Structure 1
Amino acid sequence: MSLRALRPALRAARTARVPVARAVATRTFHASCPAFGAGESDAELAAALAAEYAYETEGASSSKPGFLQELQDEGVWSLADTANSDDVVISRKFGDEALKLTFQISDLDNTDPVESVDADGNVVEDVAPAFITSSLLISKSGAKKALLFDLGASPDGFEVTNVAIYETALAEATGAEGDWKRRSSYMGPQFDTLDAVVQDAFQAYLAERGVDAALSNFIVSYSEYKEQKDYVGWLADVKQFVNTD
């Protein structure tokens, strides 16, 4: 279960640590506003943000997590990440092929509650495992076309949903326009409608290139790690803005 999914429950458990908001008198629109942005609620918001920041950073380690250090030590995949960017890219070379895998950490927001029944027959609500949408581009030097895989990364491994082949320039096109042009082209059959032998062969093809359960687990772990870092940075930036005269 991701930290983001657990955050509401953790917050509820520590409500007493956040100052209780007092009632703010209603102002009419023609009332004069305080100068320099010093509103009556600024101090309370700053205190709430400071409490949240302190809670999120309490006991946090500044060392690099093991799964990230392991990826870097292996030296197979390279990671490109920008703070506060939703997209993360990992890439590698495989013979004369270039592999570029892109995933979005915002998919952590799409984890829906699921219900199950425990041994006593009670309905238990839990959070489904993370499922991170990923796009894998495989291009080959000298080839006019490239493969584009739609994947879902979860703790159990990758789920392939689609395999398409496009002109390399179209496969590499970014942004809404590139996505629209690809959707206007034949995207190939839905993966689960392929013959089982073909599906297994594709899975072996990907595994040989390192697109396997270990990489899928890395994507889930890194998404949670990055989301936490970006959240803490967001708290600090907003708190600083509110406190600025």
Structure 2
Amino acid sequence: MISKIPLRLLNTIKPLQMRRVFAPFCTQLEKVNKTGQKLVKIVEKELKYEKTNYVEDDSVTEFIEESGFQLIDDENNHEVTLEKKVGDVKVIVQFQSRQPNSEEEEPEEPEEQQKKNKQNQQEEEEEEQQETQSDFADFTVYLQKSNGQILCYECTTTQGEVNVNLVSLIKDLEAHKKIPRYERGLQDYSGPDFITLDEKLQLALVDYLKGYGINDDLGAFIEHYSLDKEQRLYIQWLNSLTTFLKN
């Protein structure tokens, strides 16, 4: 229930007066043009920098030839797919572009630097471990048999080391691909967390996966290519932004 304002207070309230201020159209347009010209210069400078520093890695072709995977990479999409056949099983690996971790640090004062130098070795190792854990790439592996059965591995790679997070059996491959990674298994039971499985079962599942070429070499490739993919998409975005601002 909304309480009523007493009449004695209502009489003291002055009506709200709104003043409308209209800036001349030419002034607004001049401001837009000025900021637009500044933005174009900054974008063009960034674009030139990215194009100059981008170097295509020849090791990508080498890995594809040695691993036997077919690389499927749509330049307008952040998804990347690797496919190959091993016997009657189709191996599908999917991952996405990812942004690099920020390596910029704020300048430290001399006293702060001295304190940092006094840190013991254990603290430094903990910091390095935290940085390593934050630099990772997720990917999904589908092992699709000719009879339609599909085994799915949700994996993470860090510094070329592949770790399995979840193993599940799925029915619809295309429907599963559309589900966001961290929403998979929320509705239906898709198996326990991999780390909770018996150690022998964990090792056996990992060895089975390695038999299809899902190894540390693949992990290192995914880490590198996901960053390379993001950089190419960023250059493409800068190009599109430049076109918008100039036309």
Q: Give the TM interval when normalised to the shorter protein.
A: 0.7 to 0.9
Which amino acid letter does the alignment assign opposite residue 172 of structure 1? E
Aligned residues: 207
Change in 2 beyond 3 A, CA 1:75/1:45 = same
CA contact (8 A) 1:138 1:148 kept: yes
Residue 242 (structure 1) shift: 0.8
SS in 2 for 1:40: helix
CA contact (8 A) 1:152 1:159 kept: yes
Match of 1:31 among 17, 24, 28: 24
Equivalence map 1:200-219=2 (5 Å): 200-219=203-222
The answer to whether structure 1 residue 58 and structure 2 residue 89 are counterparts is no
Residue by residue, what CA displacement relative to the aligned partner does 1:205-234 show, whole Å, maximum 9, x if unpaired? 111110000000000010111111111121
Alpha-carbon distance in structure 2 between the residues aligned to 1:29 and 1:187? 60
Which residue pairs with 1:134 in the alignment?
139
Residue 149 (structure 1) shift: 0.9
Equivalence map 1:1-245=2 (5 Å): 30-32=23-25, 33-34=28-29, 39-61=33-55, 64-74=56-66, 76-106=68-98, 108=99, 120-121=118-119, 127-128=131-132, 130-143=135-148, 145-167=149-171, 169=172, 171-173=173-175, 174-176=177-179, 182-244=185-247
Residue 118 (structure 1) shift: 7.1
Change in 2 beyond 3 A, CA 1:204/1:154 = same
CA contact (8 A) 2:160 2:217 kept: no
Change in 2 beyond 3 A, CA 1:158/1:112 = farther
Change in 2 beyond 3 A, CA 1:178/1:219 = closer
SS in 2 for 1:41: helix
Identity %: 25
Change in 2 beyond 3 A, CA 1:96/1:218 = same
CA contact (8 A) 2:78 2:229 kept: no
Gaps of 5+ in 2: 1-20, 105-114
Alpha-carbon distance in structure 2 between the residues aligned to 1:92 and 1:161? 23
Alpha-carbon distance in structure 2 between the residues aligned to 1:221 and 1:44? 34
Alpha-carbon distance in structure 2 between the residues aligned to 1:175 and 1:141? 22
Alpha-carbon distance in structure 2 between the residues aligned to 1:46 and 1:178? 37
Alpha-carbon distance in structure 1 between the residues aligned to 2:227 and 2:46? 18
Residue 200 (structure 1) shift: 0.8
Residue by residue, what CA displacement relative to the aligned partner does 1:108-156 show, whole Å, maximum 9, x if unpaired? 367899xxx977417777744521111111110124x311111112223
Structure 1 stretch displaced more, 45-54 or 124-133: 124-133
Residue 241 (structure 1) shift: 1.4
**Structure number having the greater strand percentage:** 1
Alpha-carbon distance in structure 1 between the residues aligned to 2:181 and 2:230? 27
Residue 105 (structure 1) shift: 1.6
CA contact (8 A) 2:100 2:227 kept: no
Change in 2 beyond 3 A, CA 1:220/1:91 = same
Change in 2 beyond 3 A, CA 1:119/1:92 = farther
